[in-house]
Chain A
Amino acid sequence: MTADWLTFQSFQRSQGVLKAINTLSAHLKLMLNGVADEERSQAVDRSAETLQAFFDELEAAARQADRRESALMLGVDPRFREFVHDYLTARRHHRFRSRLFTGPIGDIKTLLSSNARSDQEALVECLAELRILVEEHMSDDVSQILGAI
């Protein structure tokens, strides 16, 4: 029996999160540049929901890691645990500058629902840096699921 189920789930989750990041980020950038983007509106709502759920999970797991010794996150699948570990390491090492990596994680959920221009600009920065982290994280899953030449 293989443990591919874990890799496949991780791959699909990352793909879904990336799709949501790209859709929402594109929409916000176009709006901020004065371009109406009505054709994406339904997809934008779904993307915000996807990201909201993702940040809920991230916040819960990161809270566990803060509370316990040795980043002992329980009830969290190993691949997502690795992502949370990468995220917390990036925060500790000041790798990124957006509010997702410098402020409380809960802040980004506020940004997701805000219509203020400054919040939307901040959200675009957060999404760009989150995209980097997710793309890095999924490289192992990609080679296992899709293979490599």
Chain B
Amino acid sequence: MRTILRESNLDLLSEAEQLIAALKATPVVPELAPYHDHMVRACANLHEQICHNLWDMELGRDDILPEEILSETQRLARDLRLHNRLAGPALRGLKSDRLSLRVIGWLHAVHKETTDVPVAMSTEEFGIWPQPPHPVVYFMPVSAQYSLLYQPLFFHEFGHLLYASHRPEMDSLVQDLQTQIAELLEPLARRNDVHAQAEERQRTIIVLTWYKWAQELFCDAVGLMIGGPAFIHAFSHYLRMSPRAEYHCSRIPVVGTPIHCHFL
């Protein structure tokens, strides 16, 4: 086990070095510079943590710390995989990202909570990975990056970052909303049978679902406030060819469904 752990850490170390070298060798567009610099520092930090894990093994501490060294190795392996994903936008540096990065850069610059958060763009379905103070990645399909039409959808995604930046207050507001919804759904009289239990489960699902929905509605409101008609236009284009399945929610698994039905 000791040999396997040591080899695994050496492999991680080598991969982290390769990632740092690749990042340093990549030309950077100005809009990506803060994100790029952050990624180089983050990878160097990861490298240092792997060295620390190896250091514990070299000192023979693995007899005292078997679970810690194993768990750390696994955690660092996951972190390396995440850093590989996060490095993607900085390594590929497409010119088509620049328009979106400027729009996002403007959004971040005018809010004090987000001014210093490094940002990048990646090419997947519209979305965001918001976890301040970590760098933020916005997602947009490649074909949408070449026009202005869908840029306002970033305003919605930016709402998720604002929510995350004010999480305790926002969660407290959502808690109040959920409490009110729970009270509204409360029946005037309660039976003590199987049907009553089933109805209670349904009420619970509805109330819990509102955590996600409240955040999505907040983000819609942020998008509308920033983008106005441009946001509505982008949203209607985004949704107009969505099939029936996007708007249909079966009653039970509603907690895990994507958020589309509230746009109706």
Q: Tell me the A residues contacting B by CB distance below 8 Å.
A: 1-6, 8-9, 11-12, 15, 18-19, 21-22, 25-26, 29-30, 33, 35, 69-70, 72-78, 81, 128, 131, 135, 142, 145-146
Contacts and interface: CB of A to CB of B under 8 A. Distances in A.
A37 to B, nearest CB: 9
Interface of B: 56, 61, 64-65, 67-68, 71-72, 74-75, 78-79, 81-82, 85, 124-131, 134, 139, 153, 156-157, 160, 164, 171-176, 178-179, 182, 200-201, 204, 207-208, 211-212, 216, 255, 258-259
Given A15-B78, A18-B75, A70-B204, A1 B68 contact: no
A75 B179 CA distance: 9
A8 B139 CA distance: 13
A55 B68 CA distance: 20
Given A70-B204, A75-B211, A2 B125 contact: yes
A6 B259 CA distance: 12
A2 B126 contact: yes
Q: Label chain B's interface by main secondary structure.
A: helix
Contact of A135 (B71, B129, B174, B211): B71
A47 B195 CA distance: 48
A81 B68 CA distance: 26
A70 B200 contact: yes
A26 B65 contact: yes
Given A1-B157, A8-B130, A73-B208, 13 more contacts: A1-B125, A1-B259, A2-B125, A3-B212, A19-B72, A33-B64, A70-B200, A72-B204, A74-B174, A77-B171, A78-B211, A145-B82, A146-B78
B79 A5 contact: no
Contacts of A4: 127-129, 139
Given A2-B258, A30-B65, A72-B182, A8 B129 contact: yes
